[in-house]
Chains A and B, each alone.
Chain A
Amino acid sequence: MVDFLQNIVDGVMVGSGYALLGLGFTLIFGVMRRLNLSYGPSVMVGIFVGTWFHLRGAGLLAVIAATLAGTVLANVYVDRLCFWAVRQRSAITAVVSSFVIWMQLEEAVILVFPDRTYPFPRLTALEPIELGPIFFRAEYVTMFACVALLLAGVWLLVYRTRFGLALRAVAQDPVAARYMGIPLDWIGLGVAVMAALIGGLAGLLIAGTDQLVIPKFGLWATYKGLIAMMLGGMGSIPGAVCGGLLLGVAEIQFVWYLGAQFRDLAAYFLLFTFLVLRPGGLLGQAIVRRELAAFRRI
C-alpha cells in the first residue's frame, strides 16, 4: 500500500513534466489547429543551448535564461517556417513540414554536439523530504511547484485577459476572428512563444532532474507530450494536464510492479485503452467530434 502511494506521488511529480509538454501541444493544436511535431525538438534545442553555456562555466541563472531563449527561438523558427508560410494550405502540409524541421533541428544539434551525451546542471541540491513513510525527491517537488505556478499563470492568461480571449476566439472560428480585426499571424506567434516558454521550462525541469541531455530528447518530448494531449483530449487545457499526470502515474506503477522495460508500454497501453473506450480523451469530446465531422466531409 505504501509502495502504491509512493508510486502515485512519484508519478504525479514525473507526470507534471509531461503535463507541461502536453499543455504546449494542446495550446498549439487548440488555437492553430495544427499538430507541431517539432515542438519536442525545439525544447531539445533549448536545453542544448543551456548546456552550451553550462559547459563554458556559466551560472545556473544564465543556463536557465539560455534554455528558455533557445526554446523560444527554435519554436518561433518552426512556427514561421511550417505554420506561417503554409498557413493557407492544408493542415497535412504543415504537419509534414514540421516533421522535416524536426530532422533538421536534430541534425544541427548533433553537428554542434557530436558526443551525444552532455551534462546538465542540477536545479536544486536539497535533501529529499520525508513525510511519514512517503519520500518526496527534492527535484520532483521543485518540478511540481513550478508546474503548479505556471498552470495558474496560463489559466489567468487564457481566461482572464484580452489576449486569452482573442486566443479562444481564434480557436473557435479563425475566419470570423480575422474579420473582427484579430491578426492571426500575431496570435500564432504569441502561441508559439507561450508554448515554447512552457516547453522550455519542462525541458529545464526534466533535464535538471536527469542531469544529462541527449539529442533524442526531442523525440522523447514529442512522444510524451502528444500522448498526454491525446489522453486528455485534443485542444483541452485541463485535459492535457490530467493526461500528463495520468501518464506519469501509470508509468511509475508499471515500472514498480512489472519492471523498467514496461515503462513505455504503460503509455501505449493507456493510449490503446483510451482510443477504444473514450476516443475523445478525458475532457475533449466536443472538439474531436468536430474534427471527425471534418474528416468525413473530405
Chain B
Amino acid sequence: MLALEGLTKHFGGVQALQDLNLKVSKGSIMGLIGPNGSGKSTTVNLICGVFGITRGRILFDGEDISRVPTHLRLSQGIARTFQNIRLFGQLTVWQNLWVAQNAPEQKHGEPFLRRWFGGSRRAQAQVQGLLEFAGLAHKAQEQASNLSFGEQRRLELARALASQPKLLLLDEPAAGMNMEEINDLKQRVLALRAEGKTILLVEHVMELVMGVTDQIAVLDFGRKIAQGSPAEVQQNPQVREAYLGTQAR
C-alpha cells in the first residue's frame, strides 16, 4: 500500500529523517512512535507533500508520488488529521465535512451545478454518515469553533474521512485527551480498520498505540531503530534506551 524507500529529509544542516524504509500493508494499522523531535511529524508531512524530500521515494499503491503536489495527494487517496487541530472554525460542522469531499469520483461523478449548490443526495448522505460516525449529528449546524475539544478532534477525524481515503494519517490524535476519550477514539480507529482503511498512526499515548496497531516502527533522531509487533517493540532494549535513557537498563 504505502512504501517509503530510503526517505531522507534535511533542513539545512539538521537531519530530520535519515534513510527511512517502511512498508504499510493494506488494511493494517502501523504505529509510528519515538521521542520528541525524532522525525515522526516530518514523516507524515513528507507523505502529504508539504516539503520536497531530500532523497528517497514514496510509493503509494506501487506508484511513485514523491513529486505530486499536496492538494492532489488527497485525490490519490491520502488524508490526514493534525496534531494541533486545524478545523475551519468559522464554518459549520456540516460545511467542514462537505468542503473536504474532494476525491476525483466525488468531484466528477456529479452534475456540476448540483455540486456547486449543496451537493447531490449521495454526497449529503455521505456527510450524514460521517456526522453519525463522529457522534456529531445533533450539532451539524453548529459553528466548528464552538465545539468542545473532544468534539473538535472527532470532527477532524471525520473530515479526514470525507474524501473516502485509502490511507489515513493520524498525527497524534489522542494528544490532550482523557482516558475516556482515548477509549472512545480506540473504538473508532478499530471500526475504521474493520472497514478496511489503512492507517498510519503517530502517537505518544501508548495506551492507544499498543491497543490498536498491528506493527510499530520506532524512530529516534531521524532513524528507525526498531520495528515489530507491539509486544516485540516493548521488549526491545534499544527502544527502552531511546525513551528512558541508558540508566534504565
Residues of A within 8 A of B (CB): 160-163, 165-166, 168-169, 172-173, 175-184
Contacts and interface: CB of A to CB of B under 8 A. Distances in A.
B71 A182 contact: yes
Nearest to A156: B117
Contacts of B71: 178-179, 181-184
Secondary structure call for the A interface: helix
Contacts of B118: 162
B87 interface: yes
Given A176-B82, A181-B163, A166 B99 contact: yes
Given A180-B99, A182-B99, A184-B71, A172 B88 contact: yes
Contacts of A177: 88, 99
A41 B159 CA distance: 41
B100 A181 contact: yes
A110 B46 CA distance: 49
Given A162-B115, A181-B100, A183-B71, A168 B91 contact: yes
Nearest to B112: A162
A177 B80 CA distance: 12
Contacts of A183: 71-72
Nearest to B98: A165
Interface of B: 48, 70-72, 74-75, 79-80, 82, 86-91, 95, 98-100, 102-103, 115-119, 159, 162-163
Contact of B90 (A168, A176, A184): A168
Contact of A169 (B99, B117, B162): B99
A73 B114 CA distance: 30
A181 B68 CA distance: 12
B98 A172 contact: no
B74 A181 contact: yes
A272 to B, nearest CB: 30
A183 B70 CA distance: 9
The 5 residue pairs across chains A and B that have the minimum distance between CB atoms: A181-B102, A181-B74, A176-B86, A180-B100, A183-B71
A131 to B, nearest CB: 39
A231 to B, nearest CB: 22
A165 B95 contact: yes
Contacts of A179: 48, 70-71, 74, 79-80
Nearest to B79: A179
A184 B71 CA distance: 8
A160 B89 CA distance: 18
A184 B74 CA distance: 14
